Amino acid sequence: MSHEVAAESTVKSPVLSVNELEFSYGRHPALKQASIQVPAGRFVALIGANGAGKTTFFSIVTGLYAAHQGSITVMGHDLRSNTLQALASMGVVFQRSTLDMDLTINQNLYYSAALQGIERREAKRRIGEGLQQHGLSGLGTRKVASLSGGQRRRVELARALLHKPNLLLLDEPTVGLDLQSRAKFIAHVKSLCREQGTGVLWATHLMDEVESGDMVYIMDHGDIIAAGELDALLQNHSVDDITELFNTLITQPVS
């Protein structure tokens, strides 16, 4: 296995540190010593084709699966030995919606707040702030089933941030959204990085969701084959854009 790492900013204390993660489905290796760092206040893109291992990676980081090898720390808490503290520091938006379509936005959010142990009065305050922050003001009494795809994603984002996590994980969060809704959602998430210092790990197979200045990890068959600042990676490989970079790297044999 070969890892290529482009020059990137110094990371003093990442909100997420994943080191040499390994996982297999029977005899089929799904992750091969995958290592990823997410600094506070940074948007980090995990790029890979469908089946590259991104969802398996997220399933392990969120505690749904147990890694066979490797370590995961969230805000300094080891996921294996300090599970509750690690999970309490992260918010998650999964690829498939987990909202209750028959409930209102408010009902979904109050239910999640109760699971997080947030007291009712504080939950009301946070939900109100969340609806305003995510462009959902005045929609709290609407059933989720009546919302657009973009609005539902914003509800999931509001829910993921109710307990004020330092780390936000999003697995293919724009699947099913139109181009305009995708662009608005990405811009909104990036504003959280700038304004609140939230560290974001964004998994996607859509190259246009990555921009200049983003940190990038490219995954192919469970292996991180390149990592670093996007601009540095483009320069190192003498390519013009992320699509050309991706196609160049995944067509090369991995030793």
Task: Say which CATH topology domain 1-89+165-255 has.
Answer: Rossmann fold (3.40.50)
Task: Kindly report, as residue ranges, where domains of CATH 3.40.50.300 are found in the chain.
Answer: 1-89+165-255
Q: Which residues pair with 19 in a beta bridge?
A: 71
- Provide the pLDDT for residue 37: 97
Ramachandran category for residue 63: left, alpha or beta (phi over 0 → left; psi -120 to 50 → alpha): left
What is the per-residue pLDDT for 1? 45
Distance (Å, whole) CA 116 – CA 113 = 5
User: Do residues 40 and 200 touch, judged by C-beta distance below 8 A?
Assistant: no
Give yes or no for a contact between 211 and 189, defined as CB atoms under 8 angstroms apart.
no
Please report the pLDDT score of residue 252 as a whole number.
55
pLDDT in tens, the chain (255 residues): 445 444 444 445 799 999 999 999 999 999 999 999 999 999 999 999 988 999 999 999 999 999 999 999 999 999 999 999 999 999 999 888 889 999 999 999 999 999 999 999 999 999 999 999 888 999 999 999 999 988 998 999 999 999 999 999 999 988 888 888 888 889 989 998 999 999 999 999 999 999 999 999 999 999 999 999 999 999 999 999 999 999 999 865 544
pLDDT at position 9? 41
CA distance 255 to 247: 17
pTM of the shown model? 0.87
Buried b (16+ CB within 10 A) or exposed e, 59-90: bbbbbebebeebebbbbebebeebeeebbbbb
